[in-house]
A and B are shown apart, each in its own frame.
Chain A
Amino acid sequence: MVFGFPDPRQLARGLVRDRPAIRFGRGDGRSRLLPVLQAVADGALLAILYAAVQALVGQRPLIGPLELALLVGVGMGWARRRRWNGAGVDMPGTILLAILAGALTWFLDPDVRAALVAGNTDAAFILHLPGWVGAIAFLRGRSHASRDDDEDQQDRLLRFGIPALALPWLAGHLGASGTVERAFVSAAFVSTLLFAASGFTALGLARLELVRRGSADGSPARRSWLLLVGGIALAVTLVGIPAAALLGVPVAALTATVFGPLRVILLSLLLLTTPLIVAIAALTDLIGPLLPRGIQLPRITIPSLRADPVEVSSTPTIVFFTVLGILLVLELAAVGLYLWYRMRERRREQAAELIGFEERSIVRPAAEPPVAAVVATRRPARGDPSTAVGAYLAALELLSSHAGFARRPSESPAAHARRITPGLATGALVRLSADYQLERYAAARITSAERRRLAPRLAALRHRLRSIR
């Protein structure tokens, strides 16, 4: 049988492409995802601590896990930078950036901003003191300087971080009440789920990456990765839904974490698509005179960055939506086509790598055969006369107390029975030993009638031994 793994001779001639084991390194999506997940885990943990401190001072939490994760990410980026590595830059830069990060999160409190505008600096400083958590987030990110420590750091974070979550939760519950407590629960709950999900995923990823480096083939990492993400998603769902019901966390709190970043993404998209909208408006203006009488032309206002809603035509036309729809469909089709092509290429490459070398199949093991022989040879309880072995062993025990009748170590059951039967003047032992040999040595089942005779034979032997004594 010839297998399809590249032949060295074919490789030398260039007939077969030499593809080493599947690789994913620094540029791979999973490796890029690892620091993001680490930042989210750290940010979520800090968010819980911050929410607990805010609850203790009777304030609602103003900073979420994603903001803090962003600052952790900035710290991580600063620690792993490739430029400005001099000692004269590192320390001052770190201090400056930490202060900036702290000030940023401190400013998020509107009361602080109002106090500062009013010139009341001292009051502003005291107003949102826990807001300086941003500086801690930055410094935490800076501790992720080496990629080699990722696995250790994540392990420590989860090993001690999970039980340690109990303290801020306890503090938040005990230190607050009413709406503040509810706000704390909502914020802490979301952060806890985020911490668990991102922390476990990051730990798994870091370990997979570590193990992958030490192994020759990287293909299992892909499946392990899928299993890891799927398992954690399932676990978070299983824990999250009943826990949210137990804590009475509003759905808005859960969705806010997801839709917050989504809102930012939508705003960015809106800004990016502004030229497109302008172009569509110009196009509709151009084709307007060609349209039949009676179709209303719209007046489109370019979106602005103002907080108030953008004014659009109150009567948008069919033409506008048709053009927009077509463009959207075309864009989606292009993206879909691109994704499909990428997926097909990847599958083809995987198949080329493994063809002939590896065969995978799902095989359910056949049902175990009945274990009749095992049952027959099962060691019975010592002295149990319901089985031939048990009855014979009980007989041996009876005989062992009589000098001359005990079985010698070198004697077979048959030889022993033959030797002492004349002295006993009963054939009970001969029959017991015969049954024993059938059951033990021949793995045969004695008949039920024979089994019923075991106890009387044992009793006869006992009676005979009493009379001899």
Chain B
Amino acid sequence: MSGWLALAVTLVVIGGVADAPGLIVVAAITAGYGTLTRLWTRYGVRSVTYERRLGASRAVAGDSVALDITIWNRKPLPLPWIAADDMLTEGLVVRERPDLDHADDRQQRRLLRNTWALTWYERVVRHFHLDDLRRGAYELGPARLRLRDVFGRDAAEEQLTERETLTVVPRSRPVTHLPEDRSPLGERRAPRSLIADPALFSGVRPFQPGDSLRRVHWRATARLGIPVSRRFEPARGRTVVIAMDVQTLDDVPHWEMSYDDDAFEGLCVIAASLARHLLDDGAVVGVAAASFTGTPQRIAWLAPRAGRGQVARVGEMLARIGPVSSMPYEALLSWLARRLPAGSSVVALTSRDPRPLRPVLQRLARSGFAVEAIRAGGAWSGDGAGFPVHAAHLLPDWRTADGLRIS
């Protein structure tokens, strides 16, 4: 751009030497053009704030979440044309922009394009809505700001690296058993026990006469001003781990990236519903799946825990897994056998033909684990299996089912 200014100065000099004042007019226009363009190149993106705000960072499949995009020109220089290309993970449906372009430089990304013309100190907020959310972990960002000068020429560009994450957890449905099936899944947590597990600290309670001084929580006592004692979880029997089989097609090797999307989504809904049901029932629940969760780890693993907070953690883990298997399901079950203490319950959840899995599950049962198997959406004869066998149904389908029926 300094070339324009140099040219203008040259014209002024020539005009002065040749006594041609008309050249000064041309020089003024040349300099004006150069300066005007440089104005936006130099100061355009300075003091421009771009903000992306999600109504919620966590949602349930099928929800709508508000997305506010704010741009603020915090300087007196008006911006004739500023555009923001915001990258969104594919799968998000923006109500106000039904057709989003593909990002050129990133796979599985779409571009939410916005353009504005901003006067001095103007702030514009656009309210978008992300509709019909599907299970998954979505990323919004990074964004690229592009600025054009008053003549429409590209003036400046800035990359904004801030990202937002939206986790969409699968729905969980109430679980119903057939009347004749009265055996609960997994192991119940003991509501009370004579023996408390000192490793499972669960809070404090007022001091009672007879409490050991070693049980007094001195820091909490000092803070609250009244003596309080530690409270522990009662000792439990077994924990329940839902081992989810992400492979959804029979006779397809695990490394082949083909899957039945509906079957996988159904599995996620069943896993979430089961986890909630078991946790409500007082069980200690964990989840394992042979799937990637956006990290290099090949196994998605959520350690067993009790309490309502585990429902959210299970949902988050189920949101992050994908339908592509990272290892054979049998290998996952073997890994669980090494990971879990003997006596834990393992609920094998699959949508495939379970007969090939029977030897592995039987080995687990013989190793001292309480094995139960659930096949999603199909019958399974468990005669002679050596462990309880169930079938889970989401009727009419995983999207609209009112409940999960275990038979």
Contact = CB atoms under 8 A, between A and B. Distances in A.
B29 interface: yes
Interface in A200-257: 200, 203-204, 206-208, 210-211, 215-217, 220-224, 227-228, 231-232, 235, 239, 243, 246-247
A364 B123 CA distance: 9
A196 interface: yes
A235 B114 CA distance: 29
B125 A358 contact: yes
Interface string A395-429: 00000000000000000000000000000000000
B164 to A, nearest CB: 19
B31 to A, nearest CB: 9
B148 to A, nearest CB: 7
B151 A169 contact: no
Interface stretch (B72-80, B285-293, B384-392): B72-80
Contact of A192 (B29, B125, B129): B29
Contacts of A235: 32, 36
Given A207-B148, A364-B121, A239 B32 contact: yes
Interface in A291-320: none
A284 B102 CA distance: 73
A361 B123 contact: yes
A203 B20 contact: no
Contacts of A358: 124-127
A365 interface: yes
A49 to B, nearest CB: 13
A188 B29 CA distance: 14
B17 to A, nearest CB: 10
Nearest to A159: B33
A158 B122 contact: no
A224 B81 contact: yes
A328 B117 CA distance: 40
Contacts of A196: 29
A47 to B, nearest CB: 14
A329 B30 CA distance: 47
Given A204-B151, A208-B152, A227 B23 contact: no
B152 A360 contact: no
Given A163-B30, A362-B123, A173 B148 contact: no
Nearest to B31: A239
B23 A170 contact: yes
Nearest to B76: A364
B335 interface: no
A380 B14 CA distance: 49
Contact of B150 (A158, A210, A231): A231
Interface in A163-212: 163, 165-166, 169-170, 172-174, 185, 188-189, 192, 196, 200, 203-204, 206-208, 210-211
A210 B119 CA distance: 22
A215 B115 contact: yes
Given A220-B116, A364-B121, A211 B7 contact: no
Interface in B235-261: none
B113 interface: yes
A363 interface: yes
B53 interface: no
A361 B120 CA distance: 10
Interface string B20-32: 1111111111101
A365 B27 CA distance: 38
A357 B96 contact: yes
Nearest to B125: A359
B215 interface: no
A204 B47 CA distance: 24
B95 interface: yes
A8 interface: yes
A173 B80 contact: no
A336 interface: no
Nearest to B8: A163
A166 B113 contact: no
B80 to A, nearest CB: 4
B28 A174 contact: no
B115 A220 contact: yes
A166 B23 contact: yes
A338 interface: no
Interface in B341-384: none
Nearest to A239: B28
B18 interface: yes
B19 interface: yes
The residue in A170, A211, A224, A362 that gathers the most chain B C-beta atoms within 10 A of its C-beta is A224
A118 B313 CA distance: 103
B25 A189 contact: yes
A447 to B, nearest CB: 37
B97 interface: yes
Contacts of B7: 163
Contact of A357 (B21, B81, B122, B127): B127
B21 A362 contact: no
Nearest to B32: A235
B269 interface: no
Given A173-B19, A211-B152, A359-B124, A165 B119 contact: no
Contacts of A220: 81, 115-117
B340 interface: no
A356 interface: yes
Nearest to B55: A1
B11 interface: yes
A162 interface: yes
Contact of B152 (A210, A216, A243): A210
B123 A356 contact: no
Contacts of B116: 220
Contacts of B23: 166, 169-170, 173
B10 to A, nearest CB: 9
A228 B14 contact: no
A372 B74 CA distance: 23
A204 B117 contact: no
Contacts of A210: 152
Given A1-B66, A235-B36, 20 more contacts: A3-B129, A162-B30, A165-B26, A169-B23, A189-B22, A192-B25, A196-B29, A207-B152, A211-B115, A215-B115, A222-B117, A224-B80, A224-B117, A224-B150, A246-B21, A357-B126, A358-B124, A361-B122, A362-B119, A365-B72
21 contacts: A5-B96, A151-B152, A165-B29, A169-B26, A170-B18, A173-B23, A188-B22, A192-B26, A207-B151, A215-B115, A217-B114, A220-B115, A222-B117, A224-B117, A227-B78, A228-B151, A232-B150, A357-B127, A359-B127, A362-B121, A363-B121
Q: 9 tightest CB-CB pairs across the interface, nearest first? A: A207-B152, A173-B20, A223-B117, A169-B22, A220-B117, A224-B80, A243-B25, A359-B125, A224-B117
Interface of B: 7, 11, 14, 18-30, 32-33, 36, 47, 66, 72, 74, 78, 80-81, 83, 95-97, 113-117, 119-127, 129, 148, 150-153
Interface of A: 1, 3, 5, 8, 151, 158, 162-163, 165-166, 169-170, 172-174, 185, 188-189, 192, 196, 200, 203-204, 206-208, 210-211, 215-217, 220-224, 227-228, 231-232, 235, 239, 243, 246-247, 356-365
